[in-house]
Amino acid sequence: MEIRSTTDQDLDVFVDTLHAAFGRFPETPTDGGGVWWSALEMDRGLFAMTADGRPVGTAGAYSFELTLPGEILVPAAGVTAVGVVPSHRRQGVLSAMMRHQLTELRARGEFLSVLLASEALIYRRFGYGPATYTQRLTVPRHQAAFALPRARGEAGSDTGSVEVLRRADCGEVLEEVYDRYRRAQPGALSRPRRWWALGAGQPPISPAPRYVAVHRDADGVPDGYASYAIGEPGTLTVDETIAVDDDVFTALARFVLGHDLVSEVVFKHVPPEHPLRWQLADFRAGQVGNDTDWLWVRLLDVPRALTARGWFTDGELVLDVDDPFLGEHGRYLLTVRDSKADCVPTDREPDLSLDVSDLGSIYLGGTAPSTLVRAGHIRAHRPGAATLADALFRAERAPHCLHWF
């Protein structure tokens, strides 16, 4: 089995092989784009080839930017298009591609990679851990009255405006608003220009028909949008609600929840513990469904990753980190002072022992270290270590990613 890099010339065979792995047939690209694979970066792809030169496995990577706690932007490889044809499964093809890919990412100077997992059993062995979560929130319209949020002053004090546009008439508004939003949202990924230009991915990036409620501030500057469609029977489904702050989110939520001829509103993606449920007069009106992992994180350079993110509490922890897939092990002293971390190798007794996949899970602040201690994943060597780790690793708010790739 040989693993080799791909080029633009390989695109058709790459897409065919990947579809064979998923047991699907490619859709035909139509005018206006909208085919998800059009944004693949073929110079970052891998083929697994048999001895007689047939491709039987694929893996790719996108060049994204990830927002870390503290509004820090770092490069992140977005692993994608992973598949092995059914005839060649469980023979180590994926393992060989993952090993090759992680080595290449390091050689490019990348210190973390991310992915969305089709099945939750696949990637932990390669050092990935679930790090952000997302939920679907369904609100029946007859229960959608807002309670007056005391701290927010007058209900409806929004000084902005909402205009409904057709997706095709949005120009670059969505791209600009998304970019503002993702820079301040831990866990969010950039959406490179070519995604919008090619209409790759899911709505509202793809040109699928949608209405888009665009919110503008008092000066007319767009600062949020909700992309939606109304299906039968009276269900308004919001692909994504993107807002640069909570007040804009509230204004957009009020707008879709106030839509006539609609019996329920489904928000496809909200972060866990989203404030919207607290804003509804009836707390039970917001029904949570599809509560699932989204972004998985894999750290490739522990000290670099830990010093890159922002921190909000001072403290000191010794982490003993095992990386069985890459056959590596390190013990690090993490010291946080004034929002900055220092992370150096140490011989001191560890406070916590953990696998690199668990470190990926707690890295963005979306998984409490104490939960993984209670689950038996992380070992705490002294009382209080888990509580301190919880305080240290927490982000300014729940990390959330809704970009599909």
Q: Is 386 in the site for ligand COA (CB under 6 A)?
A: no
- Tell me the HSE value of 289 on the side-chain side, using a 13 A CA sphere: 10
Residue closer to ligand COA by CB (options 119, 154) is 119
Contact between 228 and 213 under an 8 Å Cβ cutoff? The reply is: yes
Query: What residues numbered 101-140 form the site for ligand COA, per CB under 6 A?
Result: 117-119, 121-122, 125
Q: Which of 3, 39, 94, 177 binds ligand COA (CB under 6 A)?
A: 94
Q: Is 292 in the site for ligand COA (CB under 6 A)?
A: no
Residue closer to ligand COA by CB (options 121, 261) is 121
Rounded to 5 degrees, φ, ψ at 383 are: -60, 140
Q: Which of 3, 35, 39, 84 binds ligand COA (CB under 6 A)?
A: 84
What minimum distance in Å lies between the beta carbon of 22 and ligand COA? Answer: 5
Q: Determine which one of 14, 123, 181, 332 is catalytic.
A: 123
Establish whether 123 is a catalytic residue: yes
Q: Which of 25, 31, 87, 90 binds ligand COA (CB under 6 A)?
A: 90
What is the residue-wise DSSP string for 160-185?
SEEEEEEGGG-TTHHHHHHHHHHHHS
Query: What residues numbered 3-32 form the site for ligand COA, per CB under 6 A?
Result: 21-22
Contact between 266 and 137 under an 8 Å Cβ cutoff? The reply is: yes
Query: What residues numbered 233-262 form the site for ligand COA, per CB under 6 A?
Result: none
The rounded Cα 357 to chain-centroid distance in angstroms is 16
Decide: residue 81, CB within 10 A, 0-12 exposed, 13-18 middle, 19+ buried. buried
Helices (H), 134-262: 173-184, 193-198, 246-257
Residue at token pair 């007319």: 220
What minimum distance in Å lies between the beta carbon of 51 and ligand COA? Answer: 16
Establish whether 111 is a catalytic residue: no
Q: Which residues are catalytic?
A: 123, 405
Footprint of ligand COA (CB under 6 A) = 21-22, 82-84, 89-95, 117-119, 121-122, 125
